A = this chain, B = another copy of it.
Amino acid sequence: MGATLADIARELGLSKMTVSRAINNDPLVKAKTRDRVLEVSRRLNYQPNHFARALATNRSYLIGVIVPDLMHSYFAEILHGIGAVARSAKYQIVIGNSEEYVARELSEVEALRSRTDGLIIAPCAPASKAGLYADMIEDGTKIVLIDRTLDGLDCPMVLTDDVEVGMLATEHLIRLGHRRIGHLRGTITSTSKKRLEGYRKALSANDINYNEALVRECGLMETDGYRAMQAWIEGGDLPTAIFAVNDPAAIGAMQALHEADIVVGKDIAMVGGGNIHYGDMLRVPLTTVSWSRGEMGQAAVRLLIQLIEGNGHDITHQKMILSPSLVVRSSCGAMTSSIVVASQLSPQKN
């Protein structure tokens, strides 16, 4: 289809190598030669063949990103941050979507690791799969985790302080006078566990007994929250306030409550986590815990590029932990304007 280095070389009576150097701005070629090469390459509309280059250099300038849910604006925003930094570093993004299925995650990883220079993964796999990832890293695959950690896996990661997330949410409810506080907990992921941990910490710090009956299992997606809440309503014995593991779950739960004519913000308080897009425009604007998804994505790419382009320093143990902050809206009681406490990025060694 397009012209190749050889075509340009032939036309100018040069070797392919010199042309290659000229195209890549190698200072070894004479300025005049470079100009001639560039002129011809423009005329022939030369486009470098990325496959050939990748084969020769073993670098594709592709970054694989594996997210559990593309439709969740939280990950769309992370992707947005990733895209911004990647573009400025001349990398392109290949997407994998696990839809919170472990098997899908693993097959996407397998498909992408050999086609890309490195992966950014928000894993839904349980800690028991950490070994698989460790083997890949051992084998040379570059991996940065984002949003969720994988216990036992030692690689760079960008996370939120999820214990703090649970504490901020729960303490807010306690400050509002609630004592019977429920939790819709996620399963498996590190974030879910830590948010539960924060919930328990906040309770015990305020001398409230942990009551297992008030903690219900629930996935991370809207339908999960909806179903879990429906079951809870049906079974009766509702708490006066609920901390849901994340915003989609909270929104699903709110929908179920709405359908049962239970008014969120009046009959029951709700806090989510993640500050989803449109969370402030919902029927009942959702009080939530927030941190910057854009910064997460950006930080992850920077770490991955360091890993790929290896500047010598070992960054295996580098973790970025973002501090979350509470965003108060009306789902825990009447309130008009939003209060957002600025979130900040805190780099942190090991």
Contacts and interface: CB of A to CB of B under 8 A. Distances in A.
Interface of A: 1-2, 47-52, 54-55, 58, 60, 62, 70-71, 73, 76-77, 79-80, 83, 92-97, 111-112, 114-115, 139-140, 251, 254-255, 277-278, 281-283, 285
23 contacts: A2-B114, A2-B139, A47-B114, A51-B115, A52-B55, A70-B76, A70-B79, A70-B80, A71-B76, A71-B277, A79-B95, A92-B94, A92-B95, A92-B96, A92-B112, A92-B115, A94-B95, A251-B278, A281-B282, A282-B282, A282-B283, A283-B283, A283-B285
A94 B65 CA distance: 10
B283 A62 contact: no
Copies assembled: 2
| Interface of A: prevailing SS | mixed
A96 B95 CA distance: 11
B76 A95 contact: no
Given A251-B278, A255-B281, 6 more contacts: A51-B51, A51-B60, A94-B94, A278-B278, A278-B282, A282-B283
B278 A50 contact: no
A55 B62 contact: no
Contacts of A50: 114-115
Contact of A251 (B48, B49, B281): B281
Contact of A71 (B47, B48, B80): B80
A285 B47 CA distance: 50
4 smallest A-B Cβ distances: which pairs? A51-B54, A51-B55, A1-B140, A50-B115
Contact of A55 (B2, B55, B114, B140): B55
B60 A55 contact: no
B94 A70 contact: no
A58 B281 CA distance: 48
Contacts of A55: 49, 51-52, 55
Nearest to A107: B87
Contacts of A281: 251, 254-255, 282-283
Nearest to A91: B111
A47 B139 CA distance: 12
A5 B115 CA distance: 17
Contacts of A251: 278, 281
A196 B139 CA distance: 57
Contacts of A77: 71
Among the interface residues A71, A95, A281, which one has the most CB atoms of the partner chain B within 10 A? A281
